[in-house]
Chains A and B, each alone.
Chain A
Amino acid sequence: DGGITQSPKYLFRKEGQNVTLSCEQNLNHDAMYWYRQDPGQGLRLIYYSQIVNDFQKGDIAEGYSVSREKKESFPLTVTSAQKNPTAFYLCASSNSPGQTNYGYTFGSGTRLTVV
């Protein structure tokens, strides 16, 4: 079955350390997204990519970096510059709005905790 796989499910980061969250999809979607979820704040967009080798900042990109070397993969790196990284991170992908089955598919999330 097609879907999005995020790994790991739980991740612990020490102060000053960079960590990378994995996101892989086999839906043949062109666009991929990273969201951060904090209690009571909904989901906020970190970065998104509409095509391989191209990506744009979302609303809260500071302290994060991404790459899109393959259509299937969109890893997110939480750098030491992100001062409050403890959160639930969700990856998503979507096809084109012109398609009849247009929609977004979400992964199961990674919970990152600073220790």
Chain B
Amino acid sequence: AQSVTQLGSHVSVSEGALVLLRCNYSSSVPPYLFWYVQYPNQGLQLLLKYTSAATLVKGINGFEAEFKKSETSFHLTKPSAHMSDAAEYFCASAGGTSYGKLTFGQGTILTVHP
């Protein structure tokens, strides 16, 4: 079974600092990988996705993630944090051979300090 691990349930950064949210997946076959953002009492908004095209994926709001097969990782980064980036972030994976059940990590709450 697939699993997704997000390292760090809480990450705190200063405004303007680098954002790094870590995600590792376990799968015998490179899966589809997603990062979502969730604001309080709202649904999930897609930031970016990896579908085996390019290993460096650029998303919305200045976020990007790099797929590293050797490290089974898909870490999310943003060069300069903004106050509006404060939210909860979820990494998720899905199987690539059929309709995949989306498996989520536990989530990382990002706090941005002025």
Contact = CB atoms under 8 A, between A and B. Distances in A.
Contact of A45 (B34, B41, B101): B101
Contacts, number: 63
Interface string A12-55: 00000000000000000011010100001111110010100000
B34 A40 contact: no
A43 B95 CA distance: 17
B90 interface: yes
A103 B42 contact: no
A111 interface: yes
A97 interface: yes
Size bracket, chain B contacts: 20 to 34
A92 interface: yes
Nearest to B31: A97
B101 A42 contact: no
A107 interface: yes
Given A102-B32, A106-B43, A30 B99 contact: yes
A90 B107 CA distance: 15
Interface in A73-115: 88, 90, 92, 94, 96-97, 102-104, 106-109, 111
Given A90-B43, A107-B43, A109-B43, A97 B102 contact: no
A53 to B, nearest CB: 16
Interface stretch (B11-19, B44-52, B61-69, B71-79): B44-52
Contacts of A63: none
A106 B44 contact: yes
A104 B46 CA distance: 8
Contacts of A88: 41
17 contacts: A30-B99, A42-B106, A43-B90, A43-B104, A48-B101, A50-B99, A90-B43, A94-B100, A94-B102, A103-B34, A104-B34, A106-B36, A106-B44, A106-B45, A107-B43, A108-B42, A109-B41
The 8 closest A-B pairs by CB, nearest first: A106-B43, A106-B44, A108-B43, A42-B104, A43-B104, A42-B106, A50-B99, A31-B99
